[in-house]
Amino acid sequence: MALINDHFLKLSESYLFSEIAKKVTDYKTTYPDAKVISLGIGDITRPLAPAVLQAMHKAVEEMAVASTMRGYAPECGYSFLIDAIVKNDFNARGIQLDNDEIFVSDGAKSDTGNIGDILDIENRVVITDPVYPVYQDTNQMAGRNILYLPAVCENGFVPEIPAGKVDIIYLCYPNNPTGTTLTREQLKQWVDYALENKALILFDAAYESFITEEDVPHSIYEIEGAKQVAIEFRSFSKTAGFTGVRCGYTVVPKDLIGFDRNGEAHSLNKLWRRRQSTKFNGTAYIVQRGAEAVYSPEGKQQIRQAIDYYMENAQIIKNSLQALGYETYGGINAPYIWVKTPGGISSWDFFDTLLYECQIVCTPGVGFGINGEGFVRMTAFGTRENTIEAIERWKINLKSTTL
């Protein structure tokens, strides 16, 4: 008899975005002529940068010649990409990292979920609420106990430091879903807590390239002591439009240690390397050449233009909704706008209202946790035309914030 992992039975019936997709499909089946505009799932709409495409085309041609073709990629990434990552993402900010502290992968979603492979199920895990569902679901799959820290209006979406001792802390800043951030001093408090309690911070920096304010750290390693307590996850998905290409990386400093049940220290860098060499066959050469081009002078300029485009969309959404009387957060250092639903309407009810009255798709806040109830998340990743049209529909069909 094959036994299942019964921790899966504790999960909700479907993943949040699968549930949204089903609702939208049902709507389109009923109203096939409706033009639905999605400002819900955070998928990109701008094409890959020309510099990236050129690099990938060249790599494809190399694969057609015996002397230049590549087979299995190194599990942790090609040195040409890792060199570019270290120089541009870290050295440029005064952060020193060694190449063997960078692990190239197929994206931050995979790594934030897979990192649990090297961590004991008895760890006391802390995540903020609302939260990116992957952190919660993957720990539930493993059977870990989770402590939730409210990130709500009353505390400025900055969760309080745990009163007691915990082992693993998930932080995502700029935050998905709320679009809010931590200042340098606020992040330092988390690092200090981890140092004092020998805790591990799993820091998701997937949206760091959207930061516009000076006092918001782009990397947790800007904080003194963070290399001893933090793993950082990065993604090219939103930064460079790689959602359909898949590439990201994880930083596991060699100073970072974990402990076995006897209290003996072990290198997390070595454990993650061993995990990757066993379970991951490496990101494709063509994709890594494209990622390398992100750091070229042309690539930087082109990608900056795409990021600015999305952030202009964010301002259009945020400013327009505020003018209509809605309470909004985020949209300044992140491509997400966290919108309070009007008149105490539930997140899913307001989702239905937007879909049926305006043909707009949002993401219900409650899908990110209990404290997301009463909010919806809007993304700035649509086209400019669709973003403007969606706001115009909203103005016409939902004039009142009390409904």
Domain locations in the chain? 8-48+298-397, 50-296
CA 127, CA 246: separation in Å to the nearest integer? Answer: 25
Q: Taking a C-beta distance cutoff of 8 angstroms, is the pair 276, 250 a contact? A: no
Mean pLDDT of successive 10-residue stretches along the chain, which has 403 residues: 92 80 92 93 91 98 97 95 98 98 96 97 97 94 95 94 96 96 97 98 98 97 98 96 96 97 97 97 97 98 97 98 96 97 96 96 95 97 97 87 55
How would CATH label the architecture of 8-48+298-397?
Alpha-Beta Complex (3.90)
Cβ burial 160-190 (10 Å sphere, 16+ → b, else e):
ebbeeebbbbbbbbbbbbbbbbbeeebbbeb
pLDDT at 84: 98
Predicted pLDDT at 398: 85
Q: What is the DSSP letter of 240?
A: S
Name the strands in the sheet holding 375-379, side by side, starting at the edge strand that comes first in the sequence.
328-330, 336-340, 375-379, 363-364
Give the C-alpha distances (Å, rounded to integers) separating 59 from 64, 83, 281, 282, 292. Answer: 9, 18, 19, 16, 11
| φ/ψ (deg, to 5) at 269 | -60, -45
Class of domain 50-296: alpha beta
Tell if the pTM clears 0.85, that is, is over it. Answer: yes
